[in-house]
Amino acid sequence: MQKILIANRGEIALRIIKTCSMMGIETIAIYSEADKDMPFVKSATKAFCVGEPHVSKSYLQMEKIIDIAKSENVDAIHPGYGFLSENAVFAEKVKNAGIIFIGPEPKTIELMGDKIVSRQTMEKANVPVVPGSSQGIKTIEEACNLAELIGFPVMLKASGGGGGIGMVLCENEQALVKSFETTKKRAMAYFGCEDVFIEKYISNSRHIEVQVFGDNYGNIIHLFERDCSIQRRHQKVVEESPSPFLSDNVRKKMFATAIKAARAVQYTNAGTIEFIVDQDENFYFLEMNTRLQVEHPVTEMITGLDLVKWQILVASGEELPLKQAEISASGNAIEFRLYAEDPVRFLPSPGKLTTLQWPEKEGARVDSGYVEGGTVTPFYDPLIAKCIFYSESRGKALEAAAGFFKNVKIDGIKTNVPLFLNILENESFQNGDYTTHFLNKNK
- Return the pLDDT at 192: 82
- Return the pLDDT at 425: 97
- Return the pLDDT at 162: 66
Rounded Cα gap, residues 90 and 31, in angstroms: 18
Q: Which of 291, 345, 365, 394 is catalytic?
A: 291
- Return the pLDDT at 174: 95
Q: Determine which helix (DSSP H) or strand (DSSP E) holds 229, and give its type and residue range.
A: strand 220-232
Query: In CATH, what number does 206-441 get?
Result: 3.30.470.20
- Return the pLDDT at 211: 98
Domain ranges in the chain?
3-102, 131-200, 206-441
Burial class (CB in 10 A: 0-12, 13-18, 19+), 345: exposed
pTM higher than the cut 0.85: yes
- Return the pLDDT at 319: 98
Rounded Cα gap, residues 3 and 426, in angstroms: 47
- Return the pLDDT at 438: 95
Q: Determine which helix (DSSP H) or strand (DSSP E) holds 357, and give its type and residue range.
A: strand 355-357
- Return the pLDDT at 164: 67
The total of other beta-carbon atoms located within 10 Å of residue 27's CB is: 23
What CATH number does domain 131-200 carry, 3.40.50.300, 3.40.1130.10, 3.30.1490.20, 2.40.50.140?
3.30.1490.20
- Return the pLDDT at 115: 85
3-102 shares its CATH topology with 131-200:
no
- Return the pLDDT at 283: 97
The most distant pair of C-alpha atoms in the chain lies apart, rounded to whole Å, by 60
Domain 3-102 = CATH 3.40.50.20: yes
Catalytic annotation present for 291: yes
Q: Is 392 left (phi over 0), alpha (psi -120 to 50) or beta?
A: alpha
Amino acid identity of residue 260, one-letter, is K
Give Cβ neighbours of residue 275 (< 8 Å, ≥ 6 apart).
207, 208, 209, 210, 254, 257, 258, 283, 284, 285, 286
Q: Which residues of the chain fall below pLDDT 50?
A: none
